[in-house]
Structure 1
């Protein structure tokens, strides 16, 4: 198994978990917050998708799907168009409302397809390329890809947990 196959497998696991957490839910459940200050499935999936879109587009030197495919307009959220959810307050989390599972999954699947295309072309040497010099030590592509993978799997797992809580109410 090569590096592209390993990373593709990991990112596909995010996709599977996202679909399991979102499919078949109505807007009320997607937007529900299981407790005061808690994250909704809508916010968790939107956020993990925005982070993947933002970080991988930057690493691949491409534009974000959020902008190029009109997702920002479709979501029509009440904050800066480039927001990813990082550092969002509880009020901002609550402002992420979606009208359907199709909206969330459509954006996620578009980002996943772009990510898989980029990752599928990688070899081991590519992972050593520095993609962010704002950190000490600078962040390599390999570190960035694993960081996004880990973060997205955590958020997808949280979305699955919230779904379980909602189903057991």
Structure 2
């Protein structure tokens, strides 16, 4: 009797754990699907442009140029490598706007802008995400995250982590 009772409790605990894991897995998958659906076309959102001290609407920009959106953190080693690789091969990004978006404090972003001489790159913008719009809209949790849109705002692809510049450029060519 006691053995049957113990077996029942173990079975119930096991099924509860499996049920909980499945529930949270499906919740996460559902959230990712919603994020993917939201980004099929460039969303109509704005960020604060560090260099020009005004709002920058990413959808308006996408009507004129292809867009390479990169979520960065100035204190992230991988983000800095990604940005430096882009700056080194900047000439390969003709007709592509590069938008570096960060949730870091604006004072830190201004220092970052100056330290990397980003004013030398006319199609590169450093944008502040004051309200955490980027991670909510694009379903990101990793920096760097790179999201590519063709001219007109149609989604091309999304990469988490460092991406080789050749891969980014090839995505725009396909």
- Relative contact order: is structure 1 or structure 2 higher (C-alpha 8 Å, sep ≥ 6)? 1
TM (norm. structure 1) is: 0.26
- Structure with the higher helix share, 1 or 2: 1
TM (norm. structure 2) is: 0.26
**Greater Rg by CA:** 2
